[in-house]
Amino acid sequence: MTDEANGTDEADERLLGALRTVVGAADPVPTEVVEAAKASLTWRSIDAELAELAYDSLLDDGLLVGTRSESSPRSLTFETADVTVEVEVVDMGAHRRLLGQLVPPGPADIQVRHSGGLIRVGADEVGRFTAAGVAPGPVSLRCRVTGAGAAPVETPWVVV
Amino acid sequence: MTEATNAELLDAAAGGDQRAWDALVERFSGLVWSIARAHRLSAADAADVSQTAWLRLVENLGRIRDPERVGAWLATTTRNECLRVIRKSGRQVPTDMEVDDEPPDLDSPPPDRGVLTDERDAALWRAFSSISERCQVLLRLLMADPRPSYEEICAVLGMPQGSIGPTRQRCLDKLRDKAGITSLLGDS
């Protein structure tokens, strides 16, 4: 899909070219951002089922939109055909605390993957779990339900 | 490796090939960063958005329906994350209608880290930073190398394909106006 060559488009292309140079010089991608992106391949998993983000209170227009200073927790719901993972994110300032519930309720091993590394917690006999000290930034949960032969479930990365 | 197609790189990365993944990152990290900054995100927020976009790609390796268009996939994912960040901070989400609006905060443009020694370049950077978010995002997409197709751009921005040309025109004219570029040939 190309534009027809004419004077105006040549001028536009020249300007875009100048912009590209200027913007690239003025605001390049920081090296550490590129390195972090490259390193993210280590989070690749081949055996997990990816859950769907079914609900994010941040995008719920029906809720009163709060500012950062209000302490209403963020609510997330992730779903696969067999499992639902509900998470409440409590802002503790420098860290986040996650309060989770698995449905159907039951024990599970939970790995909280976050920018600080990995936090391992267990969900109790009614499927509740808590994870403290979660770093602000992208988070993904990897849940292995006890006793089930099924693949572990991973939640899509969400910034908390 | 640099001449491999997007599909080839994605396929290899899905098999755990770090070099193929690195090549993908090098190919598109500029575009992802660029889109985040066009939404006026701070460097810290832009870094978070960038990381999330790449992690989303990792979790979807092997699942991308149109691997050659992974650039547009990344751009759309990045934009959605930007809108989340904007909502979180209580800022207004930019809409279709705001091509001609001034950006919400008219304090000084982001510093150019002192590398723009040419005054014309510095003026162009200041002018670019002062046009609307909507225009900045569109122009950053048009500036990207490889350049996304109009079809991909409208997927990212949610604009009808026919309006990209005219909007691009208005945005570039706005930029010329702000930068004091009077010559049609684009020399300031």
Distance CA B12, CA B57 (A): 13
> Average per-residue pLDDT in chain B?
83
User: Could you read off the pLDDT of A121-131 as tens digits, one per residue?
Assistant: 999 999 999 99
ipTM beyond cut 0.85: no
Q: Where in chain B is the domain with CATH 1.10.10?
A: 95-188
Name chain B contacts of A140, Cβ cutoff 8 Å.
Answer: 55, 59
Neighbouring residues of B144: CB distance < 8 A, sequence distance ≥ 6: B30, B31, B34, B71
Domain B1-93, what architecture? Orthogonal Bundle (1.10)
What's the CATH number of domain B95-188, 1.10.3470, 1.10.10, 1.10.287, 2.10.240? 1.10.10
Neighbouring residues of B93: CB distance < 8 A, sequence distance ≥ 6: B83, B86, B87
Q: Where in chain B is the domain with CATH 1.10.1740.10?
A: 1-93
Distance CA B67, CA A87 (A): 32
Check CB contact of B114 with chain A, cutoff 8 Å: no
The number of C-beta contacts closer than 8 angstroms across A and B is: 153
User: Could you read off the pLDDT of A93-149 as tens digits, one per residue?
Assistant: 999 999 999 999 999 999 999 988 999 999 999 999 999 999 999 999 999 998 867
Record: contact A22-B124, CB cut-off 8 A: yes
- DSSP, collapsed to helix, strand or coil, labels residue B181 as coil
A49 touches A78 (CB < 8 A): no
Average pLDDT over residues B165-187: 79
